[in-house]
Amino acid sequence: MSEITSKFTVKEWEQLAQLFDEKVNLHLLYKASVHGFDGKSFHAKCDGQGPTFTVGYNTSGYVFGGYTSEDFITDGNKKDNKAFLYRLYNAWRRAKFAVKPNAVAVCNHLEHGPNFGDSLVFLADGNKITYTSGPSYCVDEKDLFGGDVNLSECEVYRVEKLKTPWRTMTWNEPWRKQSLIQSINSYKLYRCSVPQARILLIGPVGGGKSSFINSVNSVFRGNVTNRALAGGGAINGTKMFRTYSFGNADGKSPPLILCDTMGISEGTEWGIHSDDIISIIKGHVPKRYQFNTTSPIEPDTKGYIKSATIGERIHCVVYVLDASKPTLLSPEMEKKMCTIQSQINDLEIPQVVLLTKVDEACPLVGEDVTNVYRSEHIEKKVLEVGKKLSVPVSCIFPVKNYWLDINGDDPTDMLIISAVLQMLRYADDYFQNLDD
Protein backbone atom coordinates (compact mmCIF):
# COMPACT_ATOMS: atom_id res chain seq x y z
CA MET A 1 0.00 0.00 0.00
CA SER A 2 2.68 2.50 0.99
CA GLU A 3 5.69 2.90 3.28
CA ILE A 4 3.41 3.09 6.31
CA THR A 5 1.30 0.13 7.37
CA SER A 6 -2.45 0.02 7.87
CA LYS A 7 -3.77 -1.00 11.28
CA PHE A 8 -6.90 -2.62 9.80
CA THR A 9 -7.53 -6.27 10.68
CA VAL A 10 -9.06 -8.69 8.19
CA LYS A 11 -12.41 -8.58 10.02
CA GLU A 12 -12.42 -4.78 9.96
CA TRP A 13 -11.71 -4.81 6.21
CA GLU A 14 -14.72 -7.08 5.71
CA GLN A 15 -16.99 -4.72 7.65
CA LEU A 16 -15.58 -1.68 5.89
CA ALA A 17 -16.45 -3.11 2.45
CA GLN A 18 -20.10 -3.27 3.51
CA LEU A 19 -20.17 0.48 4.15
CA PHE A 20 -19.84 1.21 0.43
CA ASP A 21 -22.25 0.37 -2.37
CA GLU A 22 -19.41 -0.55 -4.74
CA LYS A 23 -15.92 -1.99 -4.64
CA VAL A 24 -13.32 0.53 -3.50
CA ASN A 25 -9.59 0.57 -2.93
CA LEU A 26 -8.06 2.47 0.00
CA HIS A 27 -4.68 4.19 -0.18
CA LEU A 28 -3.17 5.15 3.19
CA LEU A 29 -2.29 8.85 3.23
CA TYR A 30 -1.82 9.70 6.88
CA LYS A 31 -1.08 7.83 10.11
CA ALA A 32 -1.01 9.94 13.26
CA SER A 33 1.51 7.76 15.10
CA VAL A 34 3.92 8.26 12.19
CA HIS A 35 3.17 11.77 10.91
CA GLY A 36 1.99 13.43 14.13
CA PHE A 37 -1.20 13.88 16.17
CA ASP A 38 -1.83 17.42 14.91
CA GLY A 39 -3.91 19.23 12.31
CA LYS A 40 -1.03 20.65 10.28
CA SER A 41 0.47 17.20 9.72
CA PHE A 42 -2.94 15.87 8.68
CA HIS A 43 -3.56 18.71 6.20
CA ALA A 44 -0.06 18.36 4.71
CA LYS A 45 -0.82 14.75 3.79
CA CYS A 46 -4.55 14.79 3.06
CA ASP A 47 -5.64 18.12 1.53
CA GLY A 48 -6.81 17.96 -2.07
CA GLN A 49 -6.87 14.16 -2.20
CA GLY A 50 -10.54 13.74 -3.13
CA PRO A 51 -12.80 11.21 -1.33
CA THR A 52 -11.30 10.06 1.97
CA PHE A 53 -12.08 7.58 4.74
CA THR A 54 -10.97 8.40 8.29
CA VAL A 55 -10.41 5.65 10.86
CA GLY A 56 -10.01 6.36 14.55
CA TYR A 57 -8.95 3.89 17.25
CA ASN A 58 -9.56 4.89 20.85
CA THR A 59 -8.10 3.49 24.05
CA SER A 60 -11.34 1.56 24.72
CA GLY A 61 -10.91 -0.46 21.52
CA TYR A 62 -13.57 1.23 19.36
CA VAL A 63 -12.92 1.59 15.63
CA PHE A 64 -14.91 4.49 14.16
CA GLY A 65 -14.70 7.51 11.87
CA GLY A 66 -16.21 9.12 8.80
CA TYR A 67 -16.27 9.30 5.02
CA THR A 68 -16.52 12.32 2.72
CA SER A 69 -16.49 12.54 -1.06
CA GLU A 70 -15.21 16.13 -0.84
CA ASP A 71 -11.61 17.34 -0.64
CA PHE A 72 -10.18 18.30 2.71
CA ILE A 73 -8.83 21.86 2.57
CA THR A 74 -7.12 24.19 5.03
CA ASP A 75 -10.17 26.32 5.73
CA GLY A 76 -13.88 26.37 4.87
CA ASN A 77 -17.06 24.28 5.21
CA LYS A 78 -18.55 21.87 2.67
CA LYS A 79 -21.85 20.09 2.15
CA ASP A 80 -21.70 16.48 1.05
CA ASN A 81 -24.84 14.33 0.97
CA LYS A 82 -22.64 11.24 0.47
CA ALA A 83 -20.83 11.72 3.78
CA PHE A 84 -21.40 9.43 6.75
CA LEU A 85 -20.05 8.44 10.15
CA TYR A 86 -19.57 4.79 11.07
CA ARG A 87 -18.54 2.39 13.78
CA LEU A 88 -16.95 -1.03 13.45
CA TYR A 89 -17.66 -2.96 16.63
CA ASN A 90 -16.37 -6.18 18.19
CA ALA A 91 -15.05 -7.31 14.79
CA TRP A 92 -18.53 -8.38 13.71
CA ARG A 93 -21.04 -5.57 14.11
CA ARG A 94 -20.96 -2.31 12.16
CA ALA A 95 -23.19 0.78 12.03
CA LYS A 96 -23.48 3.65 9.53
CA PHE A 97 -24.88 7.12 10.25
CA ALA A 98 -25.66 9.33 7.25
CA VAL A 99 -25.24 13.10 7.24
CA LYS A 100 -28.44 15.14 7.51
CA PRO A 101 -29.73 16.31 4.09
CA ASN A 102 -28.02 19.54 2.98
CA ALA A 103 -26.19 19.85 6.30
CA VAL A 104 -22.55 20.90 6.55
CA ALA A 105 -20.76 17.56 6.28
CA VAL A 106 -17.15 18.70 6.54
CA CYS A 107 -15.54 21.63 8.35
CA ASN A 108 -11.91 22.51 7.76
CA HIS A 109 -9.49 24.19 10.11
CA LEU A 110 -5.70 24.15 9.98
CA GLU A 111 -5.37 23.27 13.67
CA HIS A 112 -7.78 20.31 13.52
CA GLY A 113 -7.70 16.91 11.90
CA PRO A 114 -10.68 15.45 9.99
CA ASN A 115 -13.74 17.44 11.04
CA PHE A 116 -17.13 16.01 10.19
CA GLY A 117 -19.57 18.92 10.44
CA ASP A 118 -18.25 20.01 13.83
CA SER A 119 -19.98 16.88 15.14
CA LEU A 120 -16.97 14.53 15.12
CA VAL A 121 -13.61 16.34 15.20
CA PHE A 122 -10.34 14.40 15.18
CA LEU A 123 -7.10 15.79 16.62
CA ALA A 124 -8.99 18.64 18.25
CA ASP A 125 -6.32 18.70 20.94
CA GLY A 126 -3.43 16.38 20.17
CA ASN A 127 -4.73 12.82 20.37
CA LYS A 128 -8.16 13.88 21.60
CA ILE A 129 -11.45 14.10 19.70
CA THR A 130 -14.58 16.12 20.34
CA TYR A 131 -18.14 15.10 19.55
CA THR A 132 -21.44 16.98 19.48
CA SER A 133 -24.59 15.18 18.34
CA GLY A 134 -27.12 17.12 16.31
CA PRO A 135 -25.66 19.74 13.94
CA SER A 136 -24.91 17.41 11.03
CA TYR A 137 -25.07 13.83 12.30
CA CYS A 138 -27.39 12.26 14.87
CA VAL A 139 -25.78 9.48 16.87
CA ASP A 140 -25.02 9.17 20.56
CA GLU A 141 -21.32 9.27 21.45
CA LYS A 142 -21.73 6.05 23.43
CA ASP A 143 -22.94 4.27 20.27
CA LEU A 144 -20.26 5.83 18.08
CA PHE A 145 -17.12 5.43 20.17
CA GLY A 146 -18.12 4.48 23.71
CA GLY A 147 -17.61 8.04 24.93
CA ASP A 148 -13.81 7.59 25.06
CA VAL A 149 -12.24 10.70 23.44
CA ASN A 150 -8.64 9.48 23.67
CA LEU A 151 -7.19 8.25 20.39
CA SER A 152 -4.52 5.58 20.17
CA GLU A 153 -4.34 5.95 16.38
CA CYS A 154 -5.89 7.93 13.53
CA GLU A 155 -5.54 6.94 9.87
CA VAL A 156 -6.84 8.65 6.72
CA TYR A 157 -7.20 6.82 3.41
CA ARG A 158 -7.89 8.08 -0.08
CA VAL A 159 -10.90 6.20 -1.46
CA GLU A 160 -10.35 5.08 -5.04
CA LYS A 161 -13.04 3.70 -7.30
CA LEU A 162 -12.97 2.32 -10.80
CA LYS A 163 -15.51 4.06 -13.00
CA THR A 164 -16.62 3.98 -16.62
CA PRO A 165 -13.55 4.91 -18.71
CA TRP A 166 -13.32 8.67 -19.25
CA ARG A 167 -11.13 8.10 -22.33
CA THR A 168 -11.25 5.14 -24.68
CA MET A 169 -8.22 2.96 -25.33
CA THR A 170 -8.02 -0.44 -27.00
CA TRP A 171 -5.88 -2.57 -24.71
CA ASN A 172 -6.62 -6.18 -25.62
CA GLU A 173 -5.76 -6.23 -29.33
CA PRO A 174 -2.18 -7.49 -29.84
CA TRP A 175 -1.85 -5.64 -33.13
CA ARG A 176 -2.74 -2.26 -31.68
CA LYS A 177 0.71 -1.32 -30.36
CA GLN A 178 2.44 -2.21 -33.62
CA SER A 179 -0.20 -0.23 -35.50
CA LEU A 180 0.57 2.86 -33.41
CA ILE A 181 4.32 2.46 -33.90
CA GLN A 182 3.81 2.06 -37.64
CA SER A 183 1.65 5.20 -37.71
CA ILE A 184 4.51 7.17 -36.15
CA ASN A 185 7.27 5.66 -38.30
CA SER A 186 5.35 6.42 -41.49
CA TYR A 187 4.02 9.83 -40.42
CA LYS A 188 4.32 12.48 -43.14
CA LEU A 189 4.70 16.00 -41.77
CA TYR A 190 2.66 18.74 -43.40
CA ARG A 191 5.82 20.71 -44.24
CA CYS A 192 7.89 18.19 -46.19
CA SER A 193 10.99 20.41 -46.07
CA VAL A 194 11.23 19.71 -42.32
CA PRO A 195 12.25 16.06 -41.82
CA GLN A 196 11.56 15.85 -38.08
CA ALA A 197 9.23 17.58 -35.65
CA ARG A 198 11.15 19.01 -32.69
CA ILE A 199 9.31 18.57 -29.40
CA LEU A 200 10.55 20.32 -26.25
CA LEU A 201 9.99 18.81 -22.78
CA ILE A 202 9.88 21.28 -19.89
CA GLY A 203 8.68 21.11 -16.32
CA PRO A 204 9.65 21.05 -12.64
CA VAL A 205 12.77 19.26 -11.48
CA GLY A 206 12.10 15.53 -11.06
CA GLY A 207 8.94 15.51 -13.15
CA GLY A 208 10.13 12.69 -15.40
CA LYS A 209 11.32 14.41 -18.60
CA SER A 210 14.47 12.32 -19.07
CA SER A 211 12.66 9.15 -17.98
CA PHE A 212 10.01 9.77 -20.64
CA ILE A 213 12.72 10.09 -23.31
CA ASN A 214 14.17 6.77 -22.13
CA SER A 215 10.69 5.25 -22.18
CA VAL A 216 10.03 6.39 -25.76
CA ASN A 217 13.37 4.96 -26.84
CA SER A 218 12.50 1.71 -25.04
CA VAL A 219 9.29 1.36 -27.06
CA PHE A 220 11.07 1.81 -30.40
CA ARG A 221 14.00 -0.41 -29.43
CA GLY A 222 11.86 -3.16 -27.95
CA ASN A 223 13.74 -3.27 -24.65
CA VAL A 224 14.17 -0.95 -21.67
CA THR A 225 16.94 1.60 -22.32
CA ASN A 226 18.63 4.41 -20.41
CA ARG A 227 20.00 6.94 -22.91
CA ALA A 228 19.08 10.10 -21.03
CA LEU A 229 20.38 10.83 -17.53
CA ALA A 230 17.35 10.31 -15.30
CA GLY A 231 16.75 10.49 -11.58
CA GLY A 232 19.57 12.90 -10.78
CA GLY A 233 17.40 15.35 -8.86
CA ALA A 234 18.15 19.04 -8.58
CA ILE A 235 21.91 18.58 -8.22
CA ASN A 236 22.72 15.85 -10.73
CA GLY A 237 19.85 16.12 -13.21
CA THR A 238 19.92 17.39 -16.78
CA LYS A 239 22.13 20.48 -17.06
CA MET A 240 22.52 20.86 -20.81
CA PHE A 241 20.33 21.05 -23.90
CA ARG A 242 20.13 17.56 -25.38
CA THR A 243 18.22 16.29 -28.41
CA TYR A 244 17.20 12.69 -29.06
CA SER A 245 16.07 10.99 -32.25
CA PHE A 246 14.87 7.39 -32.29
CA GLY A 247 15.09 4.28 -34.37
CA ASN A 248 15.05 0.50 -34.24
CA ALA A 249 17.19 -2.36 -35.44
CA ASP A 250 15.48 -2.24 -38.86
CA GLY A 251 16.73 1.28 -39.45
CA LYS A 252 13.27 2.84 -39.31
CA SER A 253 13.34 6.29 -37.72
CA PRO A 254 10.22 8.22 -36.68
CA PRO A 255 10.03 11.86 -37.79
CA LEU A 256 10.51 13.42 -34.36
CA ILE A 257 13.20 14.72 -32.04
CA LEU A 258 12.62 15.03 -28.29
CA CYS A 259 14.53 17.89 -26.66
CA ASP A 260 15.54 17.64 -23.00
CA THR A 261 16.31 20.62 -20.76
CA MET A 262 17.25 21.49 -17.22
CA GLY A 263 14.24 21.42 -14.92
CA ILE A 264 12.32 24.46 -13.70
CA SER A 265 12.75 25.24 -10.00
CA GLU A 266 10.74 27.46 -7.68
CA GLY A 267 13.69 29.62 -6.70
CA THR A 268 16.44 31.26 -8.74
CA GLU A 269 19.41 29.38 -7.30
CA TRP A 270 18.84 26.34 -9.50
CA GLY A 271 16.85 25.51 -12.60
CA ILE A 272 16.60 26.70 -16.18
CA HIS A 273 16.14 30.42 -16.82
CA SER A 274 12.80 31.17 -18.50
CA ASP A 275 14.60 33.23 -21.20
CA ASP A 276 16.56 30.10 -22.16
CA ILE A 277 13.30 28.22 -22.75
CA ILE A 278 12.14 30.87 -25.22
CA SER A 279 15.56 30.88 -26.91
CA ILE A 280 15.32 27.10 -27.36
CA ILE A 281 11.87 27.45 -28.92
CA LYS A 282 13.16 30.06 -31.33
CA GLY A 283 16.03 27.78 -32.35
CA HIS A 284 18.91 29.85 -30.95
CA VAL A 285 20.33 27.27 -28.51
CA PRO A 286 22.91 24.79 -29.89
CA LYS A 287 23.08 21.12 -28.94
CA ARG A 288 24.82 20.38 -25.62
CA TYR A 289 24.66 23.99 -24.54
CA GLN A 290 25.45 24.12 -20.80
CA PHE A 291 22.77 26.12 -19.00
CA ASN A 292 23.68 28.97 -16.65
CA THR A 293 20.96 29.44 -14.04
CA THR A 294 21.73 33.13 -13.50
CA SER A 295 22.70 34.22 -17.02
CA PRO A 296 20.60 33.14 -20.02
CA ILE A 297 22.12 32.62 -23.46
CA GLU A 298 22.87 35.83 -25.42
CA PRO A 299 23.52 36.51 -29.13
CA ASP A 300 27.26 36.82 -28.39
CA THR A 301 27.38 33.45 -26.56
CA LYS A 302 29.57 30.86 -28.27
CA GLY A 303 27.48 28.62 -30.52
CA TYR A 304 24.40 30.91 -30.48
CA ILE A 305 22.31 30.25 -33.61
CA LYS A 306 21.38 33.70 -34.89
CA SER A 307 19.34 32.79 -37.97
CA ALA A 308 17.45 29.62 -37.04
CA THR A 309 15.58 27.76 -39.77
CA ILE A 310 12.07 26.39 -39.27
CA GLY A 311 13.60 22.97 -38.80
CA GLU A 312 15.76 24.23 -35.91
CA ARG A 313 12.84 25.73 -34.01
CA ILE A 314 10.55 23.93 -31.58
CA HIS A 315 7.23 22.81 -33.05
CA CYS A 316 5.45 21.53 -29.91
CA VAL A 317 6.02 22.11 -26.17
CA VAL A 318 5.28 19.41 -23.60
CA TYR A 319 4.87 20.21 -19.90
CA VAL A 320 5.93 17.18 -17.83
CA LEU A 321 4.41 16.95 -14.33
CA ASP A 322 4.61 14.36 -11.57
CA ALA A 323 1.07 13.05 -10.92
CA SER A 324 2.13 11.33 -7.68
CA LYS A 325 2.67 14.62 -5.85
CA PRO A 326 -0.24 15.66 -3.58
CA THR A 327 -0.06 19.13 -5.15
CA LEU A 328 0.79 19.09 -8.86
CA LEU A 329 2.05 22.68 -8.80
CA SER A 330 2.84 24.83 -5.79
CA PRO A 331 1.52 28.42 -6.01
CA GLU A 332 5.03 29.68 -6.83
CA MET A 333 5.63 27.01 -9.46
CA GLU A 334 2.20 27.56 -10.99
CA LYS A 335 2.91 31.28 -11.30
CA LYS A 336 6.29 30.59 -12.91
CA MET A 337 4.86 28.02 -15.32
CA CYS A 338 1.98 30.28 -16.34
CA THR A 339 4.41 33.14 -17.08
CA ILE A 340 6.43 30.84 -19.34
CA GLN A 341 3.24 29.52 -20.91
CA SER A 342 2.08 33.04 -21.74
CA GLN A 343 5.28 33.65 -23.72
CA ILE A 344 4.85 30.33 -25.53
CA ASN A 345 1.26 31.25 -26.38
CA ASP A 346 2.54 34.43 -28.02
CA LEU A 347 4.72 32.26 -30.27
CA GLU A 348 1.64 30.17 -31.21
CA ILE A 349 3.33 26.87 -30.31
CA PRO A 350 1.03 23.85 -29.63
CA GLN A 351 1.23 22.69 -26.02
CA VAL A 352 0.69 19.29 -24.42
CA VAL A 353 0.83 18.03 -20.82
CA LEU A 354 2.29 14.70 -19.71
CA LEU A 355 1.28 13.42 -16.28
CA THR A 356 3.97 10.93 -15.28
CA LYS A 357 4.15 8.40 -12.42
CA VAL A 358 0.43 7.58 -12.61
CA ASP A 359 1.26 4.13 -11.22
CA GLU A 360 2.59 5.79 -8.06
CA ALA A 361 -0.29 8.28 -7.91
CA CYS A 362 -2.98 5.58 -7.94
CA PRO A 363 -2.43 2.02 -6.62
CA LEU A 364 -5.24 0.77 -8.87
CA VAL A 365 -3.15 1.88 -11.85
CA GLY A 366 -0.03 0.47 -10.19
CA GLU A 367 -1.75 -2.93 -10.08
CA ASP A 368 -2.94 -2.68 -13.68
CA VAL A 369 -1.99 0.12 -16.09
CA THR A 370 -5.18 -0.47 -18.08
CA ASN A 371 -7.09 1.06 -15.15
CA VAL A 372 -5.60 4.49 -15.89
CA TYR A 373 -8.69 5.80 -17.69
CA ARG A 374 -11.02 4.29 -15.11
CA SER A 375 -9.30 5.90 -12.14
CA GLU A 376 -11.20 8.76 -10.53
CA HIS A 377 -8.00 9.99 -8.94
CA ILE A 378 -6.12 10.23 -12.25
CA GLU A 379 -9.11 11.91 -13.91
CA LYS A 380 -9.14 14.45 -11.10
CA LYS A 381 -5.43 15.16 -11.64
CA VAL A 382 -6.04 15.65 -15.37
CA LEU A 383 -8.88 18.10 -14.73
CA GLU A 384 -6.79 19.92 -12.10
CA VAL A 385 -3.81 20.53 -14.38
CA GLY A 386 -6.11 21.44 -17.26
CA LYS A 387 -7.61 24.18 -15.12
CA LYS A 388 -4.28 25.42 -13.73
CA LEU A 389 -2.58 25.67 -17.14
CA SER A 390 -5.70 26.34 -19.26
CA VAL A 391 -4.93 23.30 -21.42
CA PRO A 392 -7.75 21.25 -23.01
CA VAL A 393 -8.19 17.81 -21.45
CA SER A 394 -7.67 16.31 -24.92
CA CYS A 395 -4.08 17.60 -24.74
CA ILE A 396 -3.29 15.95 -21.38
CA PHE A 397 -1.82 12.44 -21.34
CA PRO A 398 -1.21 10.25 -18.27
CA VAL A 399 1.79 7.94 -18.74
CA LYS A 400 3.88 5.48 -16.81
CA ASN A 401 7.62 5.76 -17.46
CA TYR A 402 10.04 2.86 -17.35
CA TRP A 403 11.89 3.39 -14.11
CA LEU A 404 11.76 0.26 -11.99
CA ASP A 405 10.95 -2.17 -14.80
CA ILE A 406 13.61 -4.01 -16.75
CA ASN A 407 11.13 -5.59 -19.16
CA GLY A 408 8.68 -3.87 -21.49
CA ASP A 409 4.92 -3.94 -21.00
CA ASP A 410 2.37 -3.52 -23.80
CA PRO A 411 -0.17 -1.32 -21.91
CA THR A 412 2.67 0.94 -20.70
CA ASP A 413 4.02 1.12 -24.26
CA MET A 414 0.59 2.05 -25.60
CA LEU A 415 0.19 4.98 -23.21
CA ILE A 416 3.64 6.27 -24.19
CA ILE A 417 3.27 5.79 -27.92
CA SER A 418 -0.27 7.24 -28.01
CA ALA A 419 1.05 10.41 -26.38
CA VAL A 420 3.93 10.62 -28.88
CA LEU A 421 1.55 10.24 -31.84
CA GLN A 422 -0.57 13.13 -30.56
CA MET A 423 2.56 15.27 -30.12
CA LEU A 424 3.39 14.67 -33.77
CA ARG A 425 -0.11 15.65 -34.81
CA TYR A 426 0.01 18.86 -32.78
CA ALA A 427 3.42 19.71 -34.22
CA ASP A 428 1.85 19.23 -37.65
CA ASP A 429 -0.77 21.82 -36.68
CA TYR A 430 2.09 24.27 -36.14
CA PHE A 431 3.39 23.70 -39.68
CA GLN A 432 -0.07 24.12 -41.15
CA ASN A 433 -0.61 27.35 -39.21
CA LEU A 434 2.66 28.71 -40.63
CA ASP A 435 1.29 28.37 -44.16
CA ASP A 436 -2.04 29.88 -43.17
- Does residue 361 share a domain with residue 227? yes
Mean pLDDT in residue range 212-233 = 83
Which pLDDT band holds residue 422 (cuts at 50, 70, 90)? very high
| Total domain count, the chain | 2
The answer to whether residue 287 is domain-embedded is yes
pLDDT score of 10: 75
Lowest mean pLDDT among 23-32, 92-101, 137-146, 256-265: 92-101
- Does residue 190 share a domain with residue 315? yes
- Does residue 371 share a domain with residue 275? yes
Which structural domain range is residue 400 located in?
175-435
pLDDT score of 105: 93
Q: Can you tell me the distance from the alpha carbon of 301 to that of 59, in angstroms, rounded to the nearest whole number? A: 69
pLDDT score of 251: 67
CATH number at residue 206: 3.40.50.300
- Does residue 228 share a domain with residue 130? no
| Distance set, CA 65 to CA 18, 108, 120, 386 (Å) | 15, 16, 8, 33
Mean pLDDT in residue range 84-107 = 84
| Distance set, CA 320 to CA 206, 337, 385 (Å) | 9, 11, 11
Last-in-domain residue among 126, 160, 194: 160
User: Number of helices (H) and strands (E), helices first, in the chain?
Assistant: 13, 17
Q: How many CB atoms lie within 10 A of CB 340?
A: 19
Q: Can you tell me the distance from the alpha carbon of 374 to that of 164, in angstroms, rounded to the nearest whole number? A: 6
The answer to whether residue 114 is domain-embedded is yes
* pLDDT, the chain, mean: 89
- Does residue 263 share a domain with residue 410? yes
Q: What is the pTM of this model?
A: 0.79
Closest by CA position to 354, among listed 263, 419, 424: 419
One-letter amino acid at 122 equals: F
**Percentages of the chain per state (helix, strand, coil), in multiples of 5:** 30, 25, 45
Closest by CA position to 199, among listed 287, 285, 260, 284: 260
Which pLDDT band holds residue 412 (cuts at 50, 70, 90)? very high
pLDDT score of 2: 43
Which pLDDT band holds residue 4 (cuts at 50, 70, 90)? confident
pLDDT score of 197: 94
- Does residue 196 share a domain with residue 85? no
Highest-confidence segment of 17-26, 86-95, 159-168: 159-168
pLDDT at 237 > cutoff 60 = no
